[in-house]
Amino acid sequence: MSDDVNVKQDNDNGAIGRRALIGTGVVAVGAAALGGGLVGAAAASPAAPDGLGNEGAVDSNLNNAPHLFKLTASDRANHDGGYLQGANEDNFPVLKGQKGSVYFVHLDGGGIREPHWHPSAWELNFIISGRAKWSILGTHPDGTYHNDVFEAGQGDLVFAPQGYFHYFENASADTPLDVLVMFNTSAGEPNDDIGIVGTLNSLPREVLAASFGIPVSAFADVPTDIKPVVITRHR
């Protein structure tokens, strides 16, 4: 084998090694910057939709699908307490395979986003206007639950880690609250959302009573009408 061939192979191997090393470093730094929020996300995130099973197909979609989406002009999911508008892979095809979606949440005065969690996605919440009360429940490695309770105002950013139980509400009784919510999943939010009402209804009343240490009759008025994503208000 000639010296020229050896040099070429060494250069090729070096280029491949450097590319692999750089790619690994970028992933590691990105995961660290997100405080570990990406841990398990790749394994838990929904598979790419049919027709986008490889990187080439995803790239082709990016080059052919429209890149503009009129978020606040899109269809609203109206609730008693506010409304929700979202861009995901179902209505904004360029997001297919991209592990990203965005929602505009409007809460009227006294409005509440039902307590819930997302099994396979973290979320970033940007407060556009108004003030929000937040509660984010973490795990208990030291024997106590870590529940972060705070208020966020205009211009603030709130991070809810993947799988953490959380909720937010409008801190005002008369001023609207607008929040932009970003997820690291392209799926529609109902496909990655478990609410507290659905959770309670998934368990026998006797089990709930034993867990709370109160009579079964205390759960008689828990509604059985389960909806995928709920916005409600103080009564």
pLDDT tens digit string along 191-231?
Answer: 999 999 999 999 999 999 999 999 999 999 999 999 888 99
76 pLDDT higher than 60: yes
Q: Which of 77-86, 105-114, 137-146 has the lowest mean pLDDT?
A: 137-146
The three-state secondary structure class of 169 is strand
| pLDDT in the model for residue 25 | 42
C-beta atoms surrounding 174 within 10 Å:
8
4 pLDDT higher than 80: no
* Cβ-proximal residues to 46 (8 Å cutoff; 6+ apart), any chain: 120, 185, 186, 187, 191, 192
The three-state secondary structure class of 134 is strand
Q: What is the pTM of this model?
A: 0.75
The pLDDT-based confidence of 159 (bands split at 50, 70, 90) is very high
